[in-house]
Amino acid sequence: LLNKKNLINIHLYDLGFYYKFYGYTFLKSILNEFSNGLLKLIKNNDNLFILGQSDYFITSNNKNKYDLEILCKQIIQYFKINNFSIQNIDIKFKFKIALNYDENPLKLISKTLNSLNNTTNYSTLNTNYNDELILKQKNNFKIAKKIKESFINNEFITYYQPIMENKTNKITIYECLIRDIKNNLKPNEIIPILQKTNLTSLVTDTIINDSFNKLSGEKTKISINICIEDLENSKLINFIKEKQKKYGVSSNRIIFEVVESFSSYSNKYVINQLKTLKDNGYQIALDNFGMYESNFSILFELDIDYIKIDKNFISKLENPKYLKIVKGFVAFAHSINTKVIAVYVNNEKIQKIIKNLGIEYSQGYYIGKPQLNI
């Protein structure tokens, strides 16, 4: 590499996730699939180097900067449009790609390596065989396959949890939730796997279609969870408009709930998608408020309609320290004309405190459990 004048550097992410969930053999299959994909795109005069498991380098003896840029775009497009399945589990590749030309390659290599997550253990030999981890990985295999089968067989069901307006004590919003009744899988089992597969947007499309159908003819609002993968889909907004027109639902009755923490400066396309939703009359709610620093930066960049204060704060409202924190959240939200939804409201004591704080909406088992109909 030191003798090359140009360098494409690709860093592959989420390897830790695949190893943790499915094991080392599955991880090796992913690496082989990614390497084979790169080999299909490079030419005879190109060279592919692999450093460790996650860093790939492509060099060429006869390509100029323009040719290398084209190759980078081809690599991005190839892994974007093609579907990949290993042991019947759908996967998608998440990577960053950088181009270096007529510059010391060590500079780029150093920057890439410095971006890797640091480990707490150095130069140690692990000889412990973890039976519990192996069993968990096998179980994750089963869950992933069940999720795929459930989607293919249309076995995902949408449930609706009521959100009460505290001023009137009436249910005015329902949050749409996905459930796999056949396999009795919990949301925390389904969502992480969905977000690492190509099923994310398809499941979101199903939720949008079903919830708009239920909302047709009703007077309430509905809240739908969307993640970064959904917002990166260029077809999302047109799909929403199409279903909205089909079922005759007005935009101001639809709330899209951002379910992940992300920096408002890390993905401008995602932010622009949210702005487009706002421009089209849809409302935006920010979930898990207070748990991530990025929540605040998004509030200043977007005209957020609702914040949902995280359950870790609401469940501890009887503690004076948490009460003061939530008071601060509420005051801040109201200062920027944003309404507040308290989640995890599971008893009368918490609900009374919430009303006294001037929080506009409550959600939780005390208000109502998820149900099949609005």
Q: How far is it, in rounded angstroms, from Cα 37 to Cα 71?
A: 13
The series of mean pLDDT values per 10 residues for the chain, 374 residues long, is 72 88 92 94 86 84 77 88 90 82 59 43 39 71 83 84 96 91 76 74 86 88 89 89 93 88 64 91 90 69 90 93 95 94 95 97 96 88
Q: Which helix (H) or strand (E) covers residue 308, if one does?
A: strand 306-309
pLDDT value at residue 3: 65
Q: Quick one: which of 111, 112, 7, 115 has its CA closest to 69? A: 7
pLDDT value at residue 261: 60
pLDDT value at residue 152: 79
Residues of 120-155 as b/e, b for ≥16 C-beta within 10 angstroms? eeeeeeeeeeeeeeeeebeebbebbebbbebbeeee
**Taking a C-beta distance cutoff of 8 angstroms, is the pair 107, 22 a contact?**
no
Q: How far is it, in rounded angstroms, from Cα 275 to Cα 264?
A: 12
- Residues contacting 116, CB < 8 A, separation 6+: 54
Rounded to the nearest 10 degrees, the angle between the axes of helix 131-152 and helix 187-194 is 80
pLDDT tens string 112-161: 444 434 334 333 333 444 556 667 777 888 888 888 888 778 778 889 99
- Per the structure block, which two tokens stand in for 214? 């239920």
Q: Which helix (H) or strand (E) covers residue 215, if one does?
A: helix 200-215
pLDDT value at residue 124: 32
pLDDT value at residue 57: 87
pLDDT value at residue 123: 33
Q: How far is it, in rounded angstroms, from Cα 258 to Cα 261?
A: 8
- Per the structure block, which two tokens stand in for 182? 């056949």
pLDDT value at residue 126: 38
Neighbours of 356 (CB within 10 A): 10
pLDDT value at residue 263: 53
